[in-house]
Structure 1
Amino acid sequence: MSETELEEGLVAASARFDRALARLETSTRELSGRLSRLQRIEVDTQRLVHERARLATELDKTSARAKRLDDSAHEVSRRLVEAMETVRSVLQKAE
């Protein structure tokens, strides 16, 4: 093999090596971008999970309060009916 052929082979190998390095750098940048997006998605997901838990707790508290109010309204209604019946009974006796 002549010196010229060796130089041409070395130049060609060097060019292939440079192209391989360029592809590796591109892949590394793309992977880094994907990892950054994945981390943002994970942070957003965690935030949504915490928000959902907070809202579920708030909903439970609100539902319990609504039930207490409903029970109270039912009790008030029952007492009003009893009071009206008592008044009606007193009025009938007074006649």
Structure 2
Amino acid sequence: MSDTQGKDGLAAATGRFDAALARLDQSLVELTNRVQRIKRIEVDTQRLVQERARLATELDKTSARAKRLDDSAHDVSRRLVVAMETVRAVLAKTE
């Protein structure tokens, strides 16, 4: 092997090595970007889970309050019927 061939081979190997390092560096940049996106997605997901839990608790409280109001409205309606019947009975006796 001549000195020129050795230098050409070394230059080619150096070029391949540099290209491999450039690809490795690019892969590292892409991997870092993907990891950062995944971390953001994880943070967003955790935030959504917390928001969902808060909304579920709020919905449960609101549903319980709506049931209490419905029960109260039913009780008031029943009492009004009883009161109207009492008034009718009193009016019927006075006639």
Corresponding residue number in structure 2 for 1:29:
29
Runs of 4+ in 1 over 6 A off after TM superposition: none
Partners of 1:85 and 1:7 lie apart in 2 by 114
Identical aligned residues as a percent: 74
TM-score of the two chains, using structure 1 as the length reference: 0.98
| Structure 2 Cα separation of the partners of residues 45 and 38 of structure 1 | 10
Matches within 5 A, 1:5-84: 5-84=5-84
Gapped runs of 5+ residues in structure 1? none
Structure 2 stretches lacking a partner, 5+ long: none
Q: Secondary structure at the match of 1:92?
A: helix
User: Following TM superposition, by how much is the alpha carbon of 1:3 offset from its aligned partner in structure 2, in angstroms?
Assistant: 1.2
Q: How far apart in 1 are the matches of 2:12 and 2:78?
A: 97
Count of aligned pairs: 95
Distance in 2, matches of 1:3 and 1:49, equals: 68
Question: Cα RMSD over matched residues?
Answer: 0.5
Between the aligned partners of 2:7 and 2:66, the Cα distance in structure 1 is 87
| Aligned-residue offset at 1:4 | 1.2
